[in-house]
DNA sequence: ACTACTCCCTGCCAGC
DNA sequence: TGCTGGCAGGGAGTAG
């Protein structure tokens, strides 16, 4: 599911249940997700306290009292639910006005954390593209999954200069460049489409055209950075987007999907004031791209 | 070093 | 109603 706004929403939902709490019991109901769980996964968690819960790109990072970091990725279909272990349900039932599963699919509840706080945190992931790893804190920055990741788009250091430098000389499309976690962290198919719409730039445009030959940003780069930051901030405020089975940790739906301007709107009129265009769907790198050919150049 | 393509896995849905 | 092909929010691996 999850792009940066959804992962950040999950982080905020898990934080009260995890931070300062100890893993009282951990259930790993299968030996692997996308990869095998690390050797001794359960034993390396049980008895440890979570000292902090952070996020980098689309990864959740739980700092443990052992010095390990529990690295978690939701893949395409991963989600967490928080409930109370005493059976009292805190997760409310959801109203059914958007795509959501007909019933909780417990068959895909792969990992359960029973916390000392009484919280029960369940990781569910039908497609098993998710990931859980344990990495010593000191090795995290150099870990293969972390070291190549580009700047956090909501960080102060992310600006037009940085984005232009990353796109300098790139022959690939803007869509592909922004989807590349090495260029900027945390964007995925939805928010790339929405950011490009916001900047009125075509997803087919060569990435290098937001920079001059020396890598200095032009006005397109400025617009793009503003659009990226804007759409991500708005989406986080809305609790992320809920498509198909994704929900927040409390079971509630995010609602940013109602504010998509182009994503999944093929054939609908462009919402740019004065634009007579129609949203088009094309395939880039094997994935759908939605954009308005009239006002995105 | 780049870029493009394939594959991982399961579920859902439109179309026949 | 039932089957089938295509598609889904991600990312790693491989081959040019």
Closest nucleotide to A179, Cα to C1': C10
Long-range contacts of A6-9 (CB under 8 A, 24+ apart): A6/A74, A6/A240, A6/A241, A6/A246, A6/A254, A7/A55, A7/A58, A7/A59, A7/A60, A7/A74, A7/A186, A8/A55, A8/A236, A8/A240, A9/A236, A9/A239, A9/A240, A9/A248, A9/A249, A9/A254
Phi first, then psi: give them for residue A10, nearest 5 degrees.
-65, -45
Q: Could you tell me if residue A94 is inside a domain?
A: yes
Q: What is the mean pLDDT of residues A93-105?
A: 36
Query: Nearest residue to nucleotide C11 when comparing alpha carbons to its C1'?
Result: A75
Say yes or no: A124 and A16 in one domain. yes
How confident is the model at residue A97, as a pLDDT?
A: 25
Q: What does the pLDDT look like over A74-89, one tens digit per residue?
A: 999 999 999 998 755 4
Q: What does the pLDDT look like over A180-227, one tens digit per residue?
A: 999 999 999 999 999 999 999 999 999 999 999 899 999 999 999 999
Q: Could you tell me if residue A151 is inside a domain?
A: no
Answer whether any strand B atom is within 7 A of the Cβ of A288: no
Say yes or no: A53 and A169 in one domain. no
Three-state secondary-structure class, residue A47? coil
Q: What does the pLDDT look like over A163-177, one tens digit per residue?
A: 999 999 999 999 999
- Residue A180 CA and nucleotide C15 C1' are separated, in Å, by 19
Domain range holding A84? 4-142
Last residue of a domain, one of A85, A110, A142: A142
The mean pLDDT of chain A is 92
Residue A103 pLDDT > 80: no
How confident is the model at residue A1, as a pLDDT?
A: 64
CA distances from A234 to A51, A169, A177, A185 (A): 29, 31, 22, 17
Say yes or no: A89 and A183 in one domain. no
A143, A136 contact by CB (below 8 A) = no
Say yes or no: A82 and A170 in one domain. no
Q: What is the CATH number of the domain that holds A240?
A: 1.10.8.50
Phi first, then psi: give them for residue A176, nearest 5 degrees.
-65, -40
Whole-angstrom distance, CA of residue A120 vs CA of residue A123: 10
Q: Which nucleotides of C are covered by protein (CB under 7 A)?
A: 7-12
Q: Could you tell me if residue A154 is inside a domain?
A: no
Answer whether any strand C atom is within 7 A of the Cβ of A182: no
How confident is the model at residue A245, as a pLDDT?
A: 60
How confident is the model at residue A235, as a pLDDT?
A: 96
Which of A12, A204, A287, A294 is catalytic? The answer is: A287
Whole-angstrom distance, CA of residue A202 vs CA of residue A290: 10
Residue A92 pLDDT > 60: no
Which of A3, A6, A8, A194 is catalytic? The answer is: A3
Say yes or no: A22 and A98 in one domain. yes
- Residue A77 CA and nucleotide B8 C1' are separated, in Å, by 13
Closest nucleotide to A57, Cα to C1': C10
The count of structural domains within chain A is 2
Answer whether any strand B atom is within 7 A of the Cβ of A126: yes
Provide, rounded to the nearest whole percent, the portion of chain A with pLDDT above 90.
87
How confident is the model at residue A242, as a pLDDT?
A: 86
How confident is the model at residue A246, as a pLDDT?
A: 64
How confident is the model at residue A95, as a pLDDT?
A: 27
Answer whether any strand B atom is within 7 A of the Cβ of A188: no
Nearest to A141 by CA among A133, A131, A149: A149
Is residue A237 annotated as a catalytic residue, yes or no? no
Answer whether any strand B atom is within 7 A of the Cβ of A110: no
Residue A247 pLDDT > 90: no
Say yes or no: A190 and A222 in one domain. yes
Last residue of a domain, one of A142, A172, A206: A142
Say yes or no: A128 and A77 in one domain. yes
Answer whether any strand B atom is within 7 A of the Cβ of A171: yes
Nearest to A271 by CA among A190, A213, A194, A157: A194
Q: Could you tell me if residue A194 is inside a domain?
A: yes
Say yes or no: A187 and A90 in one domain. no
Answer whether any strand C atom is within 7 A of the Cβ of A128: no
Q: What is the mean pLDDT of residues A142-150?
A: 95
Q: Could you tell me if residue A297 is inside a domain?
A: no
Report the Cα–Cα distance between both ends of chain A, in Å, rounded: 28
Whole-angstrom distance, CA of residue A292 vs CA of residue A271: 9
Quick one: how far is CA A106 from the chain centroid? 23
Q: Could you tell me if residue A59 is inside a domain?
A: yes
Q: What is the mean pLDDT of residues A27-55?
A: 97
Least confident of A6-15, A103-112, A148-157: A103-112
Is residue A3 annotated as a catalytic residue, yes or no? yes
Say yes or no: A203 and A77 in one domain. no
Cβ neighbors of A36 (< 8 A, separation 6 or more) are: none
Q: What is the CATH number of the domain that holds A122?
A: 3.20.190.10
Closest nucleotide to A3, Cα to C1': C9
Q: Could you tell me if residue A66 is inside a domain?
A: yes
Say yes or no: A86 and A50 in one domain. yes
Say yes or no: A45 and A105 in one domain. yes
Answer whether any strand B atom is within 7 A of the Cβ of A128: yes
Provide, rounded to the nearest whole percent, the portion of chain A with pLDDT above 70.
93
Last residue of a domain, one of A116, A142, A168: A142
How confident is the model at residue A243, as a pLDDT?
A: 80
Is residue A58 annotated as a catalytic residue, yes or no? yes
Q: Could you tell me if residue A296 is inside a domain?
A: no
Say yes or no: A173 and A108 in one domain. no
């Amino acid at each position: 599911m999850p792009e940066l706004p959804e992962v950040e929403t999950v982080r905020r939902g898990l934080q009260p249940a995890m931070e300062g709490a100890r893993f009282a019991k951990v259930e790993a109901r299968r030996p692997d997700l996308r990869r095998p769980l690390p050797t001794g996964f359960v034993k390396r968690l049980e008895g440890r306290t979570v000292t902090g819960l952070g996020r980098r790109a689309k990864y959740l990072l739980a700092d443990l009292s052992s010095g390990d970091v529990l690295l978690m990725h939701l893949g395409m279909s991963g989600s967490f639910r928080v409930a109370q272990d005493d059976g009292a349900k805190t997760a409310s039932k959801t109203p059914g006005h958007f795509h959501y599963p007909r019933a909780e699919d417990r068959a895909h509840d792969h990992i359960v954390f029973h916390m000392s706080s009484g919280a029960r945190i369940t990781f569910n992931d039908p497609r098993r593209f998710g990931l859980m790893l344990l990495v010593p804190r000191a090795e995290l920055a150099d870990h293969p999954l972390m070291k190549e990741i580009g700047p956090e788009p909501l960080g102060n250091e992310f600006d037009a200069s940085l984005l232009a430098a990353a796109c300098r000389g790139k022959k690939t499309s803007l869509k592909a460049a922004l989807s590349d976690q090495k260029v900027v962290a945390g964007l995925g198919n939805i928010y790339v489409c929405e950011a490009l719409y916001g900047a009125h730039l075509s997803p087919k445009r060569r990435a290098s055209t937001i920079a001059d030959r020396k890598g200095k940003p032009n006005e397109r780069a400025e617009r793009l950075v503003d659009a990226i930051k804007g759409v991500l901030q708005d989406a986080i405020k809305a609790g992320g987007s809920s498509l198909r089975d994704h929900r927040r940790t409390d079971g509630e739906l995010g609602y940013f999907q109602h504010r998509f301007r182009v994503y999944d709107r093929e054939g609908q009129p462009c919402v740019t004031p004065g634009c007579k265009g129609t949203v088009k769907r094309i395939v880039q790198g094997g994935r759908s791209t939605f954009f308005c050919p009239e006002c995105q150049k």
